[in-house]
Amino acid sequence: MIDTLDCDVAVLGAGPTGLTLANLLGKAGLQVTLVERNVTTVQAPRAVSIDDEALRTIQAAGLIDDVLKDIVIDYGYQYITPKNQVFAQIEPTAREYGWPRRNAFTQPELEATLRGGLDRFANVTQLFGHSCESVVEDEDGVTLTLQQQDGAERSLRARYLAGCDGGRSGIRKLLGAEMTGSTYLERWLIVDLAATRERFRLTRVICDPKRPTICLPGPDGKRRYEFMVHNNETDDFIGAETKVRELLAEYGPDCDAPIVRKQVYTFHARIADRWSTKRIFIGGDAAHLTPPFAGQGMNSGVRDAHNLAWKLIAVVRGELGPGLLASYQTEREPHARALVDMAVNIGKVMMPTSSVQALLVQAAFRAMRFIPPLHAYFAQMKYKPKPFYGSGFLLPDDGGLNIVGRMQPQPLVERLDRTRAKLDDIVGNDFVLLAFGDEAQSALGACAAHKFGIANLQRIAITPHHMNIDRSADGSLKAFREVDEFFESTLPRGRDILILIRPDRYAAAACDVTDRTRIPAFAESIQALAARTFQTN
């Protein structure tokens, strides 16, 4: 007899996307089965950069303290001429989402931590060493046929399937999805070192037309070098030990360092045209392939996981209808595409095709130093597309506040007893009705009589940095004072604003309720938004 398993969600693929998704679903109490064809998580270094948005998702998964142990936080870039002159430096300091924008890590350690996190949940089954042989979708769910390494078969029945099975995704092929975009001819040699003599903390990008080179610091003395490969150089030639040592000697002090991995790769800028059926979804590299120059490939997959996770949780629990799941690609694809385009453009800076082009680019960056707003735009990484959804599970009309569809900040907030905490740690992974303003507590109190149609809705009031919490207000209201001024810097002063924040920290709706008579209509509009997810076409 074939062993049969049942679950709410099957996750196929135990890379960063699948592991993050499984942790978020497991933390919410769903029955999850994680399927991975390999017997363990990845052992070789791959992705090396993790951003603030991804760390915020890991925070939501309850693993941030464990992950931070293996991360070098808060570092930047230097762009350097062939004569070793710095023509641009990028060191972002903003932490509006609660974490630094650029951080270094090693993928084997991250995946091991994420896999270990699953041990917290009796409701998560891990099937490593199992390949997926077939998938059949019907009206009520998905049936997977799995094969163990000894040849034995198992049947897995799930209400939903998330295919996080990489760039060669079998689930993507099952959907009939096509990858659109480009595969570039340029090849790069990656060399990962177990130790380094190079103590410089920033990433060095040597924009040399003769051989563009990148040198990236890692945690615990690790380092990565990336060298562009010339067309007349074969993979065997460039990857030979003597040639690798020669390159290391030319571009740094690590010619005799212990090598963990050396590999030649090409890069892709491609996005799937279809991300889902009714019951099956794809995410991570299965849905989009990003050039490595912006360090956003893995981070985009983690964004997919957070977006899909809260929606699956709400639908499986019956809190919102299955129509909610149709917003997954609608929301995620444009943002993923924007990051792919950004990486392509950064690659043009890193890989000048001629000395003339290199000089022009370098001169332009030097000129920016005399234009402070433009200089800050690059130095603070403001060119990175802000997380934004133009349509999906949201009410776009926010009366000109321009916050709906955007990831909301995570300030440090202060309680009445003067203890402090990050906002996400206070509100958890539920929807939040957040009132902000001088009279935020009063505004939140005025919402008490209204239903918003959202299950487990957390309600909190936050006063601006310059305003103390009103101690005479209703003591049952959760009230805090903003310490970091992120909300205060983006919202109109002297007004009271209500924001409905989703579990993935994006604003679904917002309204100026300085005039309290606007609250009933705002509540009704959110009820209608939730009700539409139960409607079927």
Residue 216 has pLDDT above 80, yes or no: yes
Is the CA virtual torsion 279, 161, 165, 340 positive or negative?
positive
**Mean per-residue pLDDT, 488-492:** 93
Instruction: Please report, to the nearest 10 degrees, the dihedral formed by the alpha carbons of residues 44, 48, 52, 57 taken in order.
Output: -10
DSSP state of 160: E
In-domain check, residue 300: yes
In-domain check, residue 241: no
Q: With CA atoms as reference, report the closest residue to 453 among 433, 476, 474, 434.
A: 433
Question: DSSP E strands: which ranges in 178-258?
Answer: 179-193, 203-206, 213-217, 223-229
**Mean per-residue pLDDT, 280-294:** 90
Helix ranges (DSSP H) in 152-274 = 170-175, 235-239, 241-251
Is the CA virtual torsion 314, 316, 322, 326 positive or negative?
positive
Q: Is residue 314 domain-shared with residue 440, that is, in the same domain?
A: no
Residue 379 has pLDDT above 70, yes or no: no
Residue 67's pLDDT band (cuts 50, 70, 90): very high
Residue 73 has pLDDT above 70, yes or no: yes
Main-chain phi, psi angles of 485, to 5 degrees: 70, 25
Rounded distance, CA 306 to CA 159, Å? 19
**CATH code, 318:** 3.50.50.60
Residue 471 has pLDDT above 50, yes or no: yes
When divided into structural domains, the chain yields a total of 2
If DSSP codes are grouped into helix, strand and coil, which group holds residue 157? strand
Q: 33-37, 52-56, 533-537: which has the minimum mean pLDDT?
A: 533-537
What's the pLDDT score for residue 208? 85
Tell me the sheet residues that pair with 445.
Answer: none
Domain boundary among 277, 310, 327: 327
Q: Is residue 424 domain-shared with residue 312, that is, in the same domain?
A: no
If DSSP codes are grouped into helix, strand and coil, which group holds residue 21? helix
Residue 401 has pLDDT above 70, yes or no: yes
Cβ-contact 108, 124 below 8 angstroms: no
Rounded distance, CA 94 to CA 101, Å? 7
Q: Is residue 145 domain-shared with residue 24, that is, in the same domain?
A: yes
Q: Is residue 319 domain-shared with residue 442, that is, in the same domain?
A: no
Domain boundary among 306, 327, 348: 327
Q: Is residue 15 domain-shared with residue 144, that is, in the same domain?
A: yes
In-domain check, residue 259: no
Main-chain phi, psi angles of 393, to 5 degrees: -85, 80
Q: Is residue 295 domain-shared with residue 424, that is, in the same domain?
A: no
**Mean per-residue pLDDT, 261-274:** 92
Q: Is residue 165 domain-shared with residue 34, that is, in the same domain?
A: yes
Residue 3 has pLDDT above 90, yes or no: no
**pLDDT tens digits, 231-257:** 999 999 999 999 999 999 998 899 999
**CATH code, 416:** 3.40.30.20
3-state helix, strand, coil in the chain (%, to 5): 30, 30, 40
Q: Is residue 319 domain-shared with residue 450, that is, in the same domain?
A: no
In-domain check, residue 58: yes
CA atoms within 13 A on the CB side of 169: 35
Q: Is residue 304 domain-shared with residue 447, that is, in the same domain?
A: no
Rounded distance, CA 495 to CA 491, Å? 8
What's the pLDDT score for residue 314? 98
**Mean per-residue pLDDT, 409-427:** 96
Calculate the average pLDDT of the chain. 91
Q: What is the pTM of this model?
A: 0.93
How large a percentage of the chain has pLDDT more than 90? 74
Q: What is the arrangement of strands in the sheet containing 103-104, beginning at the earlier edge strand?
A: 49-50, 103-104, 72-73
In-domain check, residue 404: no
Angle between helices 16-27 and 107-118 (to 10 degrees): 30
Q: Is residue 318 domain-shared with residue 418, that is, in the same domain?
A: no
In-domain check, residue 213: no
How many other β-carbons are positioned within 10 Å of the β-carbon of residue 356? 10
Q: Is residue 131 domain-shared with residue 7, that is, in the same domain?
A: yes
Q: Is residue 443 domain-shared with residue 311, that is, in the same domain?
A: no
In-domain check, residue 462: yes
Q: Is 349 exposed, middle or buried (0-12, 13-18, 19+ CB in 10 A)?
A: buried
How large a percentage of the chain has pLDDT more than 70? 92
Residue 94's pLDDT band (cuts 50, 70, 90): confident
**pLDDT tens digits, 339-378:** 888 877 777 666 666 666 666 666 666 666 656 665 565 5
What's the pLDDT score for residue 91? 82
In-domain check, residue 85: no
Domain boundary among 327, 350, 370: 327
Domain limits at 299? 3-71+104-177+269-327
